[in-house]
């Protein structure tokens, strides 16, 4: 009996990792009905990360009343994994773009609810927090989250307030002395799939601000404000996050999580692989099916396909990447352990058109893939 690991990322804008995983499973069992199948939909830190972890590992979803990005009450949630000590918190559950309901305001949105989710998970026994940085509507440098966990932000008059992106320039001093003692001994790991610095042309505001409702003038203000935040952090906390790779993730939440909470930034796929014990699954594996919406030169910077391939290569396990689009630079993936790349874009059409038939195209590509597998395994019907 053959053993297969199915471990795709989502195809952004078309299919979740759960949907892709199920399509792979159906195609595989149609052609290899006696296969042992291990399905692990991959969480990338954005919306759906909690569900992906719970599907892959078990555990339960815990709902928590908290503050939304627009300061309105929402019902957030986190995932508590089976060990009872590991919780998965996704920013999108308390500070996500959909929660703004079209009223995007990067200068006014807060991460306060994210801190409330972290606190609730710790109060429920979690000693390790996996924080997904993705899908946020915020640009507050993680100050709201830190404030919910007891960090005090003071203006020039000594008055404490909760900064948002548009008021970071009022910040005069940061006081960590009242940070919640519940954080002591808790490991915080942030799933961070970008290496953007905090500020500048590749920083949080310039790259991600427009999708959060910031026009050019707002982007400039937000960038200046985050630069000011970094200066105060350097003076009061003694950490320089300005050029820290990943500090610009989620509106500066990456940098804030490091400075205020002692969080460790890690590529999302590495967090997933470590948490599920990926290396222990590899012995005896026939092949790994992975995939994502697009594979290109950027994929080498730690995206899902490459992260899996690097680990699998060390164990001698073939990796087949099923992707929506194969872009320039994709061939470099072969040097990282990818055995073959299969595109679902069979008609070579733009994404706006391809997304309309994404599910059908994925099914057709998988059918072709397993027909080829059948051809090299005599005795199976094609």
Query: Which residue, 374, 375, 382, is CA-closest to 35?
Result: 374
Contact at 8 Å (CB) between 8 and 291? Answer: yes
**CA-to-CA distance for 211 and 50, rounded, in angstroms?**
23
Q: Do the first three CATH levels of 3-35+287-375 and 49-268 match, i.e. the same topology? A: no
**CA-to-CA distance for 291 and 285, rounded, in angstroms?**
17
Task: Categorize the per-residue pLDDT at 379 as very low, low, confident or very high, splitting at 50, 70 and 90.
Answer: low
Query: Which residue, 96, 182, 90, is CA-closest to 135?
Result: 96
What does the DSSP assignment read for 135-203? Answer: SB---STTHHHHHHTT-EEE-TTS-B----GGGGGG--EEE-TTS-GGGTT-EEEEE------SSSTTS
Give the residue carrying structure tokens 């505001």.
Answer: 205
What's the pLDDT score for residue 230?
99
Where do the domains of the chain lie? Answer: 3-35+287-375, 49-268
Tokens representing 110 are: 């807060």
What b/e sequence results for 265-300 when a residue is b if at least 16 CB atoms lie within 10 Å of its CB, and e otherwise?
bbbbbbbbbebbebeebbeebebbbbbbbbbbeebb
- Give the mean model confidence (pLDDT) for residues 343-364: 81
Average predicted confidence (pLDDT) for the chain: 92
Residues 6+ apart with CB under 8 A from 372: none
pLDDT digits (tens, 9 = 90+) for 191-238: 987 889 999 999 999 999 999 999 999 999 999 999 999 999 999 999
What's the pLDDT score for residue 378?
64
Query: Which residue, 366, 373, 380, is CA-closest to 21?
Result: 366
Specify the CATH class of 3-35+287-375 in words. Answer: alpha beta
Q: Does 351 have pLDDT greater than 70?
A: no
Q: What is the fold, at CATH topology level, of the domain defined by 49-268? A: Glycerate kinase, domain 2 (3.90.1510)
Q: Does 70 have pLDDT greater than 50?
A: yes
Contact at 8 Å (CB) between 96 and 87? Answer: no
What's the pLDDT score for residue 314?
92
What's the pLDDT score for residue 134?
85
Task: Categorize the per-residue pLDDT at 298 as very low, low, confident or very high, splitting at 50, 70 and 90.
Answer: low
- Give the mean model confidence (pLDDT) for residues 66-92: 97
More confident residue, 169 or 332: 169
Task: Categorize the per-residue pLDDT at 328 as very low, low, confident or very high, splitting at 50, 70 and 90.
Answer: confident
Contact at 8 Å (CB) between 272 and 49? Answer: no
Contact at 8 Å (CB) between 191 and 271? Answer: yes
User: At residue 174, what are phi and psi to the nearest 5 degrees?
Assistant: -120, 130
> How many percent of the chain have pLDDT more than 70?
96
């Amino acid at each position: 009996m053959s053993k297969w690991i199915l471990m795709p990322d989502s195809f952004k804008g078309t299919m979740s990792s759960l949907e892709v995983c199920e399509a792979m499973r159906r195609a595989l069992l149609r052609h290899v009905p006696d296969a042992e199948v291990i399905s692990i939909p991959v969480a990338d830190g954005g919306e759906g990360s909690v569900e992906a972890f719970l599907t892959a590992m078990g555990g339960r979803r815990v709902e928590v009343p908290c503050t939304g990005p627009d300061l309105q009450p929402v019902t957030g949630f986190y995932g508590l994994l089976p060990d009872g000590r590991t919780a998965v918190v996704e920013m999108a559950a308390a500070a996500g773009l959909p929660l703004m309901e079209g009223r995007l305001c990067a200068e006014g949105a807060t991460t306060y609810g994210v801190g409330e989710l972290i606190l609730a998970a710790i109060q429920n026994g979690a000693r390790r927090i996996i924080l997904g940085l993705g899908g946020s509507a915020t640009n507050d440098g993680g100050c709201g989250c830190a404030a919910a966990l007891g960090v005090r932000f003071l203006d020039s008059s000594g008055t404490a307030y909760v900064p948002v992106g548009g008021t970071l320039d009022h910040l005069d001093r940061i006081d960590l002395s009242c940070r919640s003692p519940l954080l002591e001994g808790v490991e915080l790991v942030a799933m961070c799939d970008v290496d953007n610095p905090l500020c500048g042309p590749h920083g949080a505001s310039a790259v991600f601000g427009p999708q959060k409702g910031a026009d050019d003038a707002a982007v400039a203000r937000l960038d200046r404000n985050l630069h000011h935040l970094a200066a105060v952090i350097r003076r009061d906390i003694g950490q320089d996050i300005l050029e820290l790779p990943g500090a610009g993730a989620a509106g500066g939440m990456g940098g804030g999580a490091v400075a205020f909470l002692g969080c460790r930034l890690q590529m999302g796929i590495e967090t997933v692989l470590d948490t599920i014990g990926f290396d222990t699954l590899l012995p005896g594996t026939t092949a790994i099916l992975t995939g994502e919406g697009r594979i290109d030169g950027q994929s080498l910077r730690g995206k899902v396909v490459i992260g899996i391939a690097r680990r699998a290569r060390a164990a001698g396990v073939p990796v087949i990447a099923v992707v929506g689009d194969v872009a320039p630079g994709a061939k470099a993936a072969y040097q990282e352990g990818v055995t073959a790349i299969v595109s679902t874009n069979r008609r070579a059409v733009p994404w706006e058109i391809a997304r309309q038939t994404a599910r059908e195209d994925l099914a057709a590509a998988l059918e072709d893939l397993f027909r080829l597998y059948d051809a090299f395994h005599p005795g199976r019907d094609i």
